[in-house]
Amino acid sequence: MDFSYSDKVKGLQQRVSDFMGKVVYPNESVYRSQLLESKNGRFSRVPPVMEEMKQQAKQAGLWNLFLPDSNYGAGLSNLEYAPLCEVMGRSLIAPEVFNCNAPDTGNMELLARYGTQEQKQQWLMPLLNGEIRSSFCMTEPDVASSDATNIESEIIHDGDEYIISGTKWWSSGAGDPRCKLLIFMGKTDPDAEKHRQQSMILVPIETTGIKIQRMLPVFGYDDAPHGHAEITFDHVRVPKDNLMVGEGEGFAIAQGRLGPGRIHHCMRMIGAAERALEIMCKRVESRVAFGMPLSKQGVIREWIADSRIEIEQARLLVLKAADMMDKVGNKQARKEIAMIKVVAPNMALKVIDRAIQAMGAAGVSEDFPLASLYAGIRTLRIADGPDEVHRQSVAKLELKEQAKKF
Amino acid sequence: MDFSYSDKVKGLQQRVSDFMGKVVYPNESVYRSQLLESKNGRFSRVPPVMEEMKQQAKQAGLWNLFLPDSNYGAGLSNLEYAPLCEVMGRSLIAPEVFNCNAPDTGNMELLARYGTQEQKQQWLMPLLNGEIRSSFCMTEPDVASSDATNIESEIIHDGDEYIISGTKWWSSGAGDPRCKLLIFMGKTDPDAEKHRQQSMILVPIETTGIKIQRMLPVFGYDDAPHGHAEITFDHVRVPKDNLMVGEGEGFAIAQGRLGPGRIHHCMRMIGAAERALEIMCKRVESRVAFGMPLSKQGVIREWIADSRIEIEQARLLVLKAADMMDKVGNKQARKEIAMIKVVAPNMALKVIDRAIQAMGAAGVSEDFPLASLYAGIRTLRIADGPDEVHRQSVAKLELKEQAKKF
Amino acid sequence: MDFSYSDKVKGLQQRVSDFMGKVVYPNESVYRSQLLESKNGRFSRVPPVMEEMKQQAKQAGLWNLFLPDSNYGAGLSNLEYAPLCEVMGRSLIAPEVFNCNAPDTGNMELLARYGTQEQKQQWLMPLLNGEIRSSFCMTEPDVASSDATNIESEIIHDGDEYIISGTKWWSSGAGDPRCKLLIFMGKTDPDAEKHRQQSMILVPIETTGIKIQRMLPVFGYDDAPHGHAEITFDHVRVPKDNLMVGEGEGFAIAQGRLGPGRIHHCMRMIGAAERALEIMCKRVESRVAFGMPLSKQGVIREWIADSRIEIEQARLLVLKAADMMDKVGNKQARKEIAMIKVVAPNMALKVIDRAIQAMGAAGVSEDFPLASLYAGIRTLRIADGPDEVHRQSVAKLELKEQAKKF
Amino acid sequence: MDFSYSDKVKGLQQRVSDFMGKVVYPNESVYRSQLLESKNGRFSRVPPVMEEMKQQAKQAGLWNLFLPDSNYGAGLSNLEYAPLCEVMGRSLIAPEVFNCNAPDTGNMELLARYGTQEQKQQWLMPLLNGEIRSSFCMTEPDVASSDATNIESEIIHDGDEYIISGTKWWSSGAGDPRCKLLIFMGKTDPDAEKHRQQSMILVPIETTGIKIQRMLPVFGYDDAPHGHAEITFDHVRVPKDNLMVGEGEGFAIAQGRLGPGRIHHCMRMIGAAERALEIMCKRVESRVAFGMPLSKQGVIREWIADSRIEIEQARLLVLKAADMMDKVGNKQARKEIAMIKVVAPNMALKVIDRAIQAMGAAGVSEDFPLASLYAGIRTLRIADGPDEVHRQSVAKLELKEQAKKF
């Protein structure tokens, strides 16, 4: 047991942090300004500064760090990637700069692991190069998606094709003008055993029958140009070969996809919380109320202490989960993954909320990234399984382990 | 002691509720659509349905209910108004429909109480008629406004005029095209005793030197066409008579203004929480996960129970505070007012957050009023004094009272 | 609606408070000393000062205030009794002084409502006079008693007698040397409909076959001489006429008994919390740490403010529940009763816990009543239905009411 | 970075666990019975089973594991000892069995580090052998001991002796008939610089002038025969050489003593929480309410999940603190030590409280160790610095570190 980062990790951590300081933070406001200038609406183009930053990151060798497979990515373990991903989580625009942003990361992992050579050539390579983007179409408006077996969309076999129908929403990234690929989850066989009904299929976004109905706001934010789309699929036809792995494999693939996706989110939320704490600490030194800087007031100090305490604990649990995923695999680590999926967003929301409170009204505005971080992270108590579902999983596994002792 | 509403109140409550059901709720989506259709930006016009609803409310005799002074308003006591205001709080657009929306209510009270005949004629009458709107310019970006003595704006006497300079933000309502009046707080004498430095003055919005710099978002909401403005005042000249009451009276007037304003906010938040609980209860009956409607799941039931419990307690404390304001005056009731100012927003945020969680992703979107209610109410843990300042006041008063016993 | 106490109540409140100040508080330490001096164990005799105080209370006309039935008691409504009961809750020894202590109050109500003339003569009269004491034998060690249908004890009809067998525990008051009567709940017909299986029967404590196995500690307190007994009933025979109302009525009677019992507990807990807050406020004025009295430190002030806020809200909800019980009956008020049963102990525990923390080590000792109040009140999150069961009841009732709207 | 225990630790962990299973748990009830049988009061003798278990632990080589100094103890690092200490924390009687119980551990460390050869011979050796016991006399009844500079006791130089006067309380272990040594903290020079006024001195318990006034209860528990004593020192004379290190060194020595002491407490509390969770899990499988085992009820499952989540996080932070103490020293690790001092007791209290609630009334009784663990751990939110003082330290250090970035 050892709680120090390896030298390799410390080196990468330094490089990512330096890059953030030199390139990313100063361009946060540039990105926002460029977004406002888009003439044909906020989803019509990507702020040019993004592509510039991506080139710089690529040149700096800070690219695709997320991918454990060293044929395609940096070949880092989860434990090595975690502290880097954390740093990226400090800025809402950073993950894309390093080509490490959801849902593309999860989609790239899927393609790397389950894709055919043709699928890799067509979709994985441009995604790895940051040339195109992708979306993951799983959640549906009419059912509780926390229970994946509720899915109602259909993927019907018809000769050399599959015909896809259904409505999806919260398809994040589908608003991006560069988005070319949708990975779609639906039922190929509603009569099969509960976890064998679903399949996953690759759908080019321009296919006939696909319509983006609207971009869903998150606490008033449209998250342009990325966005969260509601999409209707009306008898959309794609070639048979677009099906991933085989019919009935959808649930299993999704489970595999969610593990790393969840931990990446958690890593980023540690970073977001650190950023919030940093902003809070800076602010309270400079503001005076009732004759004292806020930083000398006991209540404010409690907020700082509790924030530090909660961040430290959450980080350690995320790192431990990463270590377990590396050592015993995602399945054996599922209790730890469920735990961090509960811990990280709740922790980050608490820290950010305290920072907002310490900032006064500025905290809820656009002058600081706090409110937008809050909104984004609030969705992560729901997405990829809500808190309450993960808590039930943890309890079930705990009860099972305890029962062995009796 | 009696916990039943009077017949008078029950009658009014019924009428307001009926009006909400028939007129307001069905028009919430109309209002939003009309806002989107505004060609010259979201702050360029008020959705026409608003003026239609206002006429209907006026005709129904549900107008200016907030004003205890029966010369101008309905002459209801705080205790009588509370349950009506609560019902209005169920919809973000409702308070304006009944001409009971902040900051106009507070401004009307100021004018009714402290205005000269001319000021009443020029500003109070059109406000009471719902013809114009107003804003209150107190908070400043550069200082902690939780401590009102921090104010830096200047109001300098110059012959028959005052010259006003400074930057204000979070001037709510200033974005509205109907907004004509700004009530401005600044220092006339920085060398006077701490609470005698400030004065309050009436400033027509078209006066030279006034510039609206931007509309501040709350989380991602712009709250158009109402809005929260950052405004610069650059040597703005207004006639001497625009000063309210006298030099040095600003702090005292503000205190008087804040009492009723705070309790109105609290009443509305009770209603907002009730709406959220209603939405949650409806949803959980219809959603099924893991083989059971959500409404049968123990954890969801705890959310419902805790929400009901917290709402009931908060409502009672708000009503008690209202009763005290009526019986012993705002000053004697200041401990109770401070308490509800802490209780109501924190309660409402908890209830709404649970509702969001129960809704799944729909909860953070525009399909339900939950996220926008959350964002709006989150600001009320900061505005009119942050939680932590009110808690310190409660403690100070408590320690003083306890000390009498020892 | 009116939040002021009536003059009648104010008068009684003053009298009870004065009595507390003159008689009860000064004798708390006397009572404790006398208890320590008992030669044959702490359950062998009642500290003599108790009977002296009882005589004084009787003479002062502050006796049996709890009983709404004016034939036997003071004839006060629940709303009138609540503030008096609250004052008694400030001292662990006070309720008995006024003959208003559980479980005798509940048992007296049972006898007054359901007893025959003979039963009243034999048991109710000496209880009303404070001459004997009684216990209620419902909870069993081997089953989850939160679900009353789990009860396993038997009451078997045998000619002119019933034969009683089973084990009960947490029979509070059974340790008292003056305890003469046990009210026993068991099954007369295990095959009847779920809520018609139970019956309630009067059992003189000296009957053959009854054995007190041990006195259960609460945390480390034995609560002598009152105590919480584990009692075995081994073929205990009592006359047929000792059965209350009729076979199968046990569950219904118990429900009726629990309503007032629960609200009395809640009222007392408000008083206990007030006492704790008072002790805390006094202490923090006099202790200095890091150069400042504790009372000037922001964090301590938050504890005081939050305590005051939570007490106020809990009291109002208790009073509202009392008002409803008076106006619409215990059954219609069951949601409110369930709510206060959750609110009051949790609130009191929080307030007392803060007080303990503010006291330093003295807080957990015998030098202040805080730790013993904490322990006693902790049991009330379990007794008479645990929090989680009451929350489920509140939710069920809420969902039912909400469903009417849809 | 690596989250697995080393093989050495795993081996020891297994041995300690096995010993607990074979020797300690089965003797918990024996110990309690023997304690009740003590004829001359609960502080008159140590239950004989304790000495038997100690001999077995010594023979098993599980003795003095706490002491990093390999001349006297096991030579384990903090990181290695932590998981062993955790296991001992599962039973209130276990630490003494392994000669690893407070306050003796801290006192042995003091003597090993600062003692002269004579002092080591006289006191350290018998302590290491488990032949005698000791107490630490620091806390005083009349001042807030959270601020160590408040100490009022005097140590006055008089020729070849020091004369000691003052009142101490919460001198844990002083009730034990085997207790021979008191380590006393007092002021040798009240006029010196604030942290140079205090000195520490060794006082044999039989010295004239020492009187144990009473044993203080903790939530009703007397913790016999260990106990928490209130002791008066009335002109107690000890030889000059009994002073540790030198005059004015008391504060510094105390700081050094508290670091390891605090982390040991934290380790044990992890174990106590694990025990509580285990008890809860076992119970809820067997209890049925409302037609379902408690273990299938969502709310109970949330308690289990949250408990597991909180334990994991707390353990990781404790281990990280231990790792830092080993690598960079206690002083550099003081922020981490302060953090765990807040985290561990609050976590353990929450877990134990949920377990109590899940047990029903049995939870507060002596039938399970829950209530006694709760009471003991509740004192650790106060002892060795209350939560609020540690939070202020964390905040101060955090603000300092953050300031370097600005």
* B104-135 residue pLDDT tens: 999 999 999 999 999 999 999 999 999 999 99
**pLDDT at B290 (0 to 100):** 86
Contacts 24+ apart (CB under 8 A), D399-404: D399/A281, D399/A284, D399/A285, D399/A295, D399/A301, D399/A304, D402/A277, D402/A278, D402/A281, D402/A282, D403/A281, D403/A285
**pLDDT at A259 (0 to 100):** 74
Decide if A382 and B371 are in contact by the 8 Å CB cutoff.
no
D300 contacts in B (CB within 8 Å)? 298
Nearest CA in chain C to B298: C392
Place of tokens 């729909």: B362
Instruction: Identify the weakest region by mean pLDDT among A174-188, A270-284, B79-93, B256-270.
Output: B256-270
Nearest CA in chain B to A297: B388
Domains and CATH numbers, chain B: 7-115 (1.10.540.10), 133-243 (2.40.110.10), 251-403 (1.20.140.10)
B301 contacts in C (CB within 8 Å)? 391-392, 395-396, 399
- Peptide bond preceding C386: is omega within 30 degrees of 0, i.e. cis? no
Q: List, in sequence order, every residue forming a beta bridge with A230; answer none if it has no partner.
A: A214
Q: Does residue C51 register a pLDDT over 80?
A: yes
**pLDDT at A387 (0 to 100):** 97
Strands C133-137 and C179-187: parallel
CB A320 within 8 A of CB A335: no
Best residue of A299, A303, A354 to probe chain C, by most C CBs closer than 10 Å: A299
**pLDDT at D154 (0 to 100):** 97
**pLDDT at D405 (0 to 100):** 87
Report residue C394's pLDDT band, with 50, 70 and 90 as the boundaries. Answer: very high
**pLDDT at A99 (0 to 100):** 97
Report residue A153's pLDDT band, with 50, 70 and 90 as the boundaries. Answer: very high
Nearest-CA distance from A195 to chain B in Å?
A: 13
CB D376 within 8 A of CB C220: no
Best residue of C2, C3, C354 to probe chain B, by most B CBs closer than 10 Å: C3
**pLDDT at B108 (0 to 100):** 95
Alpha-carbon Rg for chain D, nearest whole angstrom, is: 22
Decide if D386 and C357 are in contact by the 8 Å CB cutoff.
yes
- What is the tens place of the pLDDT at every residue in A117-140? 999 999 999 999 999 999 999 999
Nearest-CA distance from C286 to chain D in Å?
A: 9
Alpha-carbon Rg for chain A, nearest whole angstrom, is: 22
Query: HSE-up of A209 (CA within 13 Å, CB side)?
Result: 15
Tokens of B193: 């005793």
Q: Does residue B248 register a pLDDT over 90?
A: yes
- What integer best gives the mean pLDDT of chain B? 95
C299 contacts in A (CB within 8 Å)? 298-299, 302
How many other C-beta atoms can be found within 10 angstroms of the C-beta atom of residue A25?
Answer: 16
Nearest-CA distance from A221 to chain B in Å?
A: 4
Decide if A317 and D319 are in contact by the 8 Å CB cutoff.
no
How many other C-beta atoms can be found within 10 angstroms of the C-beta atom of residue C135?
Answer: 29
D216 contacts in C (CB within 8 Å)? 361, 365-366
Using alpha carbons, select from B222, B381, B363 the residue that is nearest to residue A363.
Answer: B381
Nearest-CA distance from A102 to chain C in Å?
A: 38
What is the rounded average pLDDT of the residues A239-260? 90
Burial of C89 per CB tally in 10 Å (0-12, 13-18, 19+)? buried
CB B329 within 8 A of CB B285: no
Residue A295 has phi, psi (to 5 degrees) of -65, -10
Identity (one letter) of the amino acid at B207?
A: T
Nearest-CA distance from D275 to chain B in Å?
A: 25
Decide if A220 and B221 are in contact by the 8 Å CB cutoff.
yes
- What is the tens place of the pLDDT at every residue in B193-230? 999 999 999 999 999 999 999 999 999 999 999 999 99
Helix (H) or strand (E) holding C400: helix C387-405
Decide if C323 and B3 are in contact by the 8 Å CB cutoff.
yes
Decide if C399 and B306 are in contact by the 8 Å CB cutoff.
no
Using the Cα atoms of residue A71, residue A73, residue A74 and residue A76 in order, give the sign of their dihedral: negative
* Cα gap B84→C242, rounded to integer Å: 55
* Cα gap C92→C373, rounded to integer Å: 7
Q: List, in sequence order, every residue forming a beta bridge with C234; answer none if it has no partner.
A: none
**D231: three-class secondary structure by DSSP:** strand
- Peptide bond preceding A225: is omega within 30 degrees of 0, i.e. cis? yes
* Cα gap B212→B12, rounded to integer Å: 39
Nearest-CA distance from B360 to chain A in Å?
A: 6
D298 contacts in B (CB within 8 Å)? 297-300
For chains A and D, count residue pairs whose Cβ atoms are closer than 8 Å.
157
Decide if C219 and D222 are in contact by the 8 Å CB cutoff.
no
Residue B325 has phi, psi (to 5 degrees) of -60, -40
* Cα gap C266→B13, rounded to integer Å: 31
CB A351 within 8 A of CB A314: no
Nearest-CA distance from C303 to chain A in Å?
A: 11
Decide if A308 and D394 are in contact by the 8 Å CB cutoff.
yes
Regarding an ipTM greater than 0.95, the answer is yes
Chains touching chain A through at least 3 C-beta pairs below 8 angstroms are B, C, D
**pLDDT at D406 (0 to 100):** 79
Report residue A256's pLDDT band, with 50, 70 and 90 as the boundaries. Answer: confident
Using CB atoms, pick whichever of C278, C392, C406 lies closest to residue B301: C392
Query: In degrees to the nearest 10, what's the CA dihedral of C242, C243, C245, C247?
Result: -160
What is the rounded average pLDDT of the residues C140-152? 87
Report residue A348's pLDDT band, with 50, 70 and 90 as the boundaries. Answer: very high
- What is the tens place of the pLDDT at every residue in C7-29? 999 999 999 999 999 999 999 99
- What is the tens place of the pLDDT at every residue in D267-295? 999 999 999 999 999 999 999 998 899 99
Query: HSE-up of A3 (CA within 13 Å, CB side)?
Result: 23
**pLDDT at A238 (0 to 100):** 98
Supply the angle between the helices D250-286 and D334-359 in degrees, to the nearest 10: 30
Using alpha carbons, select from C278, C268, C267, C265 the residue that is nearest to residue C352.
Answer: C278
Angle made by CA atoms A231, A233, A236, in degrees to the nearest 5? 145
Best residue of C299, C300, C301, C357 to probe chain A, by most A CBs closer than 10 Å: C299
Which residues of chain D fall below pLDDT 50? none
Chains touching chain B through at least 3 C-beta pairs below 8 angstroms are A, C, D
Identity (one letter) of the amino acid at B45?
A: R
**pLDDT at B214 (0 to 100):** 96
- What is the tens place of the pLDDT at every residue in A195-214? 999 999 999 999 999 999 99
* Cα gap A216→A79, rounded to integer Å: 34
Q: Does residue C149 register a pLDDT over 90?
A: no
* Cα gap D333→D318, rounded to integer Å: 11
Using CB atoms, pick whichever of A313, A320, A406 lies closest to residue D282: A406
Q: Does residue B96 register a pLDDT over 80?
A: yes
- Sequence-separated (6 or more) residues with CB below 8 Å from residue D345: D265, D266, D269, D377, D378, D380, D381, D387
Using CB atoms, pick whichever of A1, A5, A324 lies closest to residue D6: A1
Using the Cα atoms of residue A21, residue A22, residue A26 and residue A27 in order, give the sign of their dihedral: negative
Using alpha carbons, select from C197, C383, C358, C206 the residue that is nearest to residue C285.
Answer: C358
Query: In degrees to the nearest 10, what's the CA dihedral of C269, C389, D298, C218?
Result: 50
Query: In degrees to the nearest 10, what's the CA dihedral of D319, D322, D326, D332?
Result: 120
Q: Does residue B256 register a pLDDT over 80?
A: no
Q: DSSP character for B268?
A: H
Q: Does residue B158 register a pLDDT over 80?
A: yes
- Where would I find the beta strands (DSSP E) of B65-209? 133-137, 154-158, 161-172, 179-187, 198-204
CB B311 within 8 A of CB B347: yes
Report residue A251's pLDDT band, with 50, 70 and 90 as the boundaries. Answer: very high
**pLDDT at A60 (0 to 100):** 97
Using alpha carbons, select from A111, A131, A117, A107 the residue that is nearest to residue A46.
Answer: A131
- What is the tens place of the pLDDT at every residue in B369-378? 999 999 999 9
* Cα gap D42→B4, rounded to integer Å: 58
Place of tokens 């595999």: A256
Decide if D360 and C375 are in contact by the 8 Å CB cutoff.
no
What residue spans of D63-103 are helical by DSSP H? 78-88, 94-97
Helix (H) or strand (E) holding D172: strand D161-172
* Cα gap A265→A89, rounded to integer Å: 8
* Cα gap D61→D14, rounded to integer Å: 13
Using alpha carbons, select from B351, B195, B326, B196 the residue that is nearest to residue B271.
Answer: B351
- Sequence-separated (6 or more) residues with CB below 8 Å from residue D280: D303, D304, D307, D354, D355, D358, D359
Best residue of D294, D299, D301, D357 to probe chain B, by most B CBs closer than 10 Å: D299
* Cα gap A5→A323, rounded to integer Å: 12
- Sequence-separated (6 or more) residues with CB below 8 Å from residue B158: B237
What is the rounded average pLDDT of the residues A3-10? 96
A314 contacts in D (CB within 8 Å)? 313
pTM of the entire predicted model: 0.97
Decide if A364 and B144 are in contact by the 8 Å CB cutoff.
no
**pLDDT at A144 (0 to 100):** 87
What is the rounded average pLDDT of the residues A323-352? 96
**pLDDT at A149 (0 to 100):** 83
Place of tokens 């299929």: A201
**pLDDT at A58 (0 to 100):** 97
Query: Which residues in D have their CB inside 8 Å of a CB on B?
Result: 297-300, 302
Report residue B145's pLDDT band, with 50, 70 and 90 as the boundaries. Answer: confident
- What is the tens place of the pLDDT at every residue in B290-309? 889 999 999 999 999 999 99
Q: Does residue A360 register a pLDDT over 80?
A: yes
Q: List, in sequence order, every residue forming a beta bridge with A243; answer none if it has no partner.
A: A201
Decide if B302 and D297 are in contact by the 8 Å CB cutoff.
no
Using alpha carbons, select from A282, A285, A280 the residue that is nearest to residue A351.
Answer: A280
Using alpha carbons, select from B142, B206, B193 the residue that is nearest to residue B168.
Answer: B142
